[in-house]
């Protein structure tokens, strides 16, 4: 079975990629299993300055999912480039995806430039779900104009493929996807988490200290699949599909909807071996479905 996919000229041994924020910097999982079973790794979201993150509690359980409001806790771009990336490359030969976040265009520019200059980075994934501090606090990803502006900034400083990670908390995700494509994005990642909430009915207050958080897990898979399919039918650039993926069958379904590679997020937190299991089960599922080469099924629906 041919599980390899070509991603903007980058060969992935398979399409399975742990999603940003669910696999740390890869280093944390190196003693759990051989990371080289993975097609790529999307590393923890990185900002210009180190961030401690939001107040606790930051996690709320939900049926078939979870809500998180971690708040981009990370050591900052300098530590990321000088320490995390070299350490990971020593033990991992697959595609390294730098996930960049920011609260202004200048911050995106600086972080994308430093990530692009790092020899270990293969792809830059730009998270546009952050609030624009100079634009009234609305997330960059909720406006086609703002999303295009961040795409332009990232592309202006990177010769490496730039993927824009789209927020599902919008009226028309296709409009925003097209705006990113028109501004030169090499690819798109979707979807990021949905906005959710849980209430502690005994204490009569929100479970999450920050009140709302990102809802992820198996429950959002149909929504993610629909959005991937909508964007794949409207755009010509490759897609990393994510949102509720938990099995090899889910990977096949995402690829049929239009994804070239597939990220696994919340399932890693429930089962640390999830990505390894999915990658190892993929050939058997392909055989059962009569699929000889994964590239044959991308966007067939």
Q: Distance between CA 164 and CA 100 in Å, rounded? A: 10
62 is catalytic: no
What's the CA gap between 42 and 37, in Å, rounded? 14
Residue of 175, 77, 96, 164 lying closest to 129 (CA atoms)? 164
Q: Do you find a cis peptide bond into 183, omega within 30 degrees of 0?
A: no
Residue (of 39, 103, 45) closest to 74 by Cα position: 45
The radius of gyration of the chain from alpha carbons, rounded to an integer in Å, stands at: 18
Please report the sign of the dihedral spanned by the C-alpha atoms of residue 74, residue 189, residue 166, residue 220: negative
Annotated catalytic residue within 111, 130, 180, 275: 130
CA 46 to chain centre: 13
Question: Catalytic positions, please?
Answer: 130
């Amino acid at each position: 079975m041919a599980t390899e996919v070509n991603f903007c000229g980058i060969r992935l041994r398979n399409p399975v990629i742990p999603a940003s924020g669910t696999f740390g910097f890869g280093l944390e999982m190196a003693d759990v299993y051989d990371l080289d079973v993975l097609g790529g790794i999307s590393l923890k979201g990185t900002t210009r300055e180190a961030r401690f993150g939001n107040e606790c509690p930051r996690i709320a359980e939900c049926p078939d999912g979870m809500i998180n409001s971690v708040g981009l806790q990370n050591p900052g771009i300098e530590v990321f480039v000088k320490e995390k990336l070299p350490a990971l490359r020593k033990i991992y030969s697959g595609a390294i995806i730098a996930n960049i976040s920011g609260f202004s265009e200048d911050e995106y520019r600086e972080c994308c430039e430093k990530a692009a200059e790092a020899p270990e980075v293969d792809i830059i994934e730009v998270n546009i779900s952050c609030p624009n501090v100079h634009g009234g606090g609305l997330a960059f990803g909720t406006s086609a104009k703002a999303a295009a502006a961040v795409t332009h900034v990232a592309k202006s400083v990177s010769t490496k493929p730039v993927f824009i990670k789209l927020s599902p908390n919008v009226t028309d995700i296709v409009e925003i996807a097209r705006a990113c494509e028109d501004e030169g994005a090499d690819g798109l990642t979707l979807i990021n988490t949905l906005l959710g909430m849980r209430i502690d009915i005994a204490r009569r207050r929100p479970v999450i200290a920050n009140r709302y958080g990102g809802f992820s897990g198996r429950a959002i898979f149909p929504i993610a699949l629909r959005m991937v399919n909508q964007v794949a039918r409207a755009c010509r650039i490759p897609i990393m599909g994510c949102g509720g993926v938990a099995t090899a069958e889910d990977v096949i379904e995402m690829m049929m909807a239009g994804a070239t590679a597939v990220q696994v997020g919340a399932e890693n937190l429930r089962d640390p071996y999830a990505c390894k299991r999915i990658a190892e089960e993929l050939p058997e599922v392909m055989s059962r479905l009569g699929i000889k080469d994964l590239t044959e099924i991308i966007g067939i629906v």
